Amino acid sequence: MADPQPTLLQGYPAGPIQWLFTKALTKTDITQGLQLEGNSKTYLDGLGDDMITLMNDGLDIDLFAPDGVYLVTVKRTLVRNSSVYRLKRIGWKDCVRNHDFDTHQSVSCWAIYTKEGGLCLLLESVNT
Protein backbone atom coordinates (compact mmCIF):
# COMPACT_ATOMS: atom_id res chain seq x y z
CA MET A 1 0.00 0.00 0.00
CA ALA A 2 1.33 3.45 -0.93
CA ASP A 3 2.12 6.00 1.77
CA PRO A 4 -0.58 8.65 2.24
CA GLN A 5 -0.05 12.02 0.58
CA PRO A 6 -1.21 15.42 1.84
CA THR A 7 -4.52 16.52 0.33
CA LEU A 8 -5.39 19.70 2.26
CA LEU A 9 -2.03 21.48 2.23
CA GLN A 10 -0.77 24.14 -0.16
CA GLY A 11 2.28 26.36 -0.46
CA TYR A 12 4.82 24.04 1.08
CA PRO A 13 8.36 23.90 -0.36
CA ALA A 14 9.25 21.67 -3.26
CA GLY A 15 11.39 18.70 -2.36
CA PRO A 16 11.22 15.02 -1.56
CA ILE A 17 8.25 14.43 0.71
CA GLN A 18 8.45 11.66 3.31
CA TRP A 19 5.39 10.38 5.16
CA LEU A 20 6.28 10.04 8.84
CA PHE A 21 3.12 8.85 10.59
CA THR A 22 -0.61 8.90 11.06
CA LYS A 23 -1.73 8.78 14.69
CA ALA A 24 -4.50 9.67 17.11
CA LEU A 25 -3.55 12.65 19.25
CA THR A 26 -3.05 12.09 22.95
CA LYS A 27 -3.59 14.51 25.81
CA THR A 28 0.20 14.74 26.14
CA ASP A 29 0.54 15.59 22.42
CA ILE A 30 -1.90 18.45 22.87
CA THR A 31 -0.59 19.84 26.16
CA GLN A 32 3.16 19.14 25.98
CA GLY A 33 3.89 18.99 22.25
CA LEU A 34 3.28 16.53 19.44
CA GLN A 35 5.45 13.42 19.76
CA LEU A 36 6.68 12.43 16.31
CA GLU A 37 6.22 8.70 15.81
CA GLY A 38 6.24 6.07 13.07
CA ASN A 39 9.01 6.73 10.56
CA SER A 40 10.05 9.95 12.32
CA LYS A 41 12.93 8.55 14.36
CA THR A 42 14.58 6.81 11.41
CA TYR A 43 14.03 9.78 9.10
CA LEU A 44 15.20 12.49 11.52
CA ASP A 45 18.14 10.46 12.86
CA GLY A 46 19.13 9.92 9.22
CA LEU A 47 19.52 13.65 8.55
CA GLY A 48 23.00 13.49 10.06
CA ASP A 49 24.95 14.50 13.15
CA ASP A 50 24.77 18.25 12.50
CA MET A 51 20.95 18.21 12.33
CA ILE A 52 20.73 15.91 15.36
CA THR A 53 22.87 18.35 17.36
CA LEU A 54 20.57 21.21 16.35
CA MET A 55 17.48 19.19 17.34
CA ASN A 56 19.07 18.32 20.71
CA ASP A 57 19.11 22.05 21.41
CA GLY A 58 15.72 22.61 19.75
CA LEU A 59 15.52 23.41 16.03
CA ASP A 60 13.00 26.01 14.87
CA ILE A 61 11.20 24.90 11.71
CA ASP A 62 8.03 25.66 9.76
CA LEU A 63 4.97 23.47 10.27
CA PHE A 64 2.62 23.69 7.29
CA ALA A 65 -1.05 23.15 8.13
CA PRO A 66 -4.17 23.72 6.04
CA ASP A 67 -4.66 27.24 7.40
CA GLY A 68 -1.05 28.43 7.17
CA VAL A 69 2.44 28.07 8.56
CA TYR A 70 3.39 27.83 12.23
CA LEU A 71 6.87 28.27 13.72
CA VAL A 72 7.54 25.24 15.92
CA THR A 73 10.59 23.73 17.59
CA VAL A 74 11.64 20.13 17.00
CA LYS A 75 13.25 18.91 20.21
CA ARG A 76 15.15 15.62 20.43
CA THR A 77 15.57 13.82 23.75
CA LEU A 78 16.98 10.41 24.53
CA VAL A 79 14.76 7.93 26.33
CA ARG A 80 16.47 4.61 27.11
CA ASN A 81 19.12 5.39 24.45
CA SER A 82 16.48 5.94 21.77
CA SER A 83 15.64 9.26 20.09
CA VAL A 84 12.27 10.81 20.85
CA TYR A 85 11.24 13.86 18.83
CA ARG A 86 8.53 16.30 19.90
CA LEU A 87 7.13 19.54 18.48
CA LYS A 88 7.23 22.36 20.99
CA ARG A 89 6.70 26.09 21.18
CA ILE A 90 3.77 28.44 20.94
CA GLY A 91 3.35 27.58 17.24
CA TRP A 92 2.23 24.06 18.17
CA LYS A 93 -0.23 25.44 20.74
CA ASP A 94 -1.57 27.89 18.14
CA CYS A 95 -1.99 25.06 15.61
CA VAL A 96 -3.89 22.96 18.18
CA ARG A 97 -6.17 25.87 19.07
CA ASN A 98 -6.81 27.01 15.48
CA HIS A 99 -7.67 23.47 14.34
CA ASP A 100 -9.61 22.62 17.50
CA PHE A 101 -7.52 19.46 17.85
CA ASP A 102 -8.72 17.10 20.54
CA THR A 103 -7.63 13.76 21.94
CA HIS A 104 -8.19 10.79 19.65
CA GLN A 105 -8.32 13.03 16.55
CA SER A 106 -6.11 11.53 13.83
CA VAL A 107 -3.41 13.51 12.06
CA SER A 108 -0.88 12.66 9.37
CA CYS A 109 2.58 14.17 9.25
CA TRP A 110 5.17 14.44 6.48
CA ALA A 111 8.67 15.89 6.28
CA ILE A 112 10.51 17.72 3.54
CA TYR A 113 14.23 18.30 3.79
CA THR A 114 16.43 20.08 1.28
CA LYS A 115 19.96 21.41 1.72
CA GLU A 116 18.78 24.83 0.56
CA GLY A 117 15.59 25.12 2.61
CA GLY A 118 16.29 22.87 5.56
CA LEU A 119 13.62 20.84 7.32
CA CYS A 120 9.88 21.51 7.44
CA LEU A 121 6.91 19.40 8.48
CA LEU A 122 3.42 19.12 7.02
CA LEU A 123 0.42 18.22 9.18
CA GLU A 124 -3.26 17.69 8.46
CA SER A 125 -6.14 15.99 10.20
CA VAL A 126 -7.43 12.80 8.60
CA ASN A 127 -10.51 10.65 8.86
CA THR A 128 -9.74 7.11 9.95
**At residue 1, does pLDDT exceed 80?**
no
3-state SS, the chain, equals: CCCCCCCCCCCCCCCCEEEEEEEECCHHHHHHCCEECCCHHHHHHCCCHHHHHHHHHCEEEEEEECCEEEEEEEEEEEECCEEEEEEECHHHHHHHHHHCCCCCCEEEEEEEEECCCEEEEEEEECCC
Please give the pLDDT value at position 127.
Answer: 82
Q: Is the dihedral of CA 93, 48, 107, 62 positive or negative?
A: positive
CATH numbers and ranges of domains, the chain: 17-125 (2.40.330.10)
Judge whether residue 128 has pLDDT over 90: no
Query: pLDDT tens digits, residue range 70-124?
Result: 999 999 999 898 899 999 989 999 999 999 999 999 999 999 999 888 999 999 9
Condensed to tens digits (0 to 9), the pLDDT of residues 25-55 reads 999 999 999 999 999 999 999 999 999 999 9
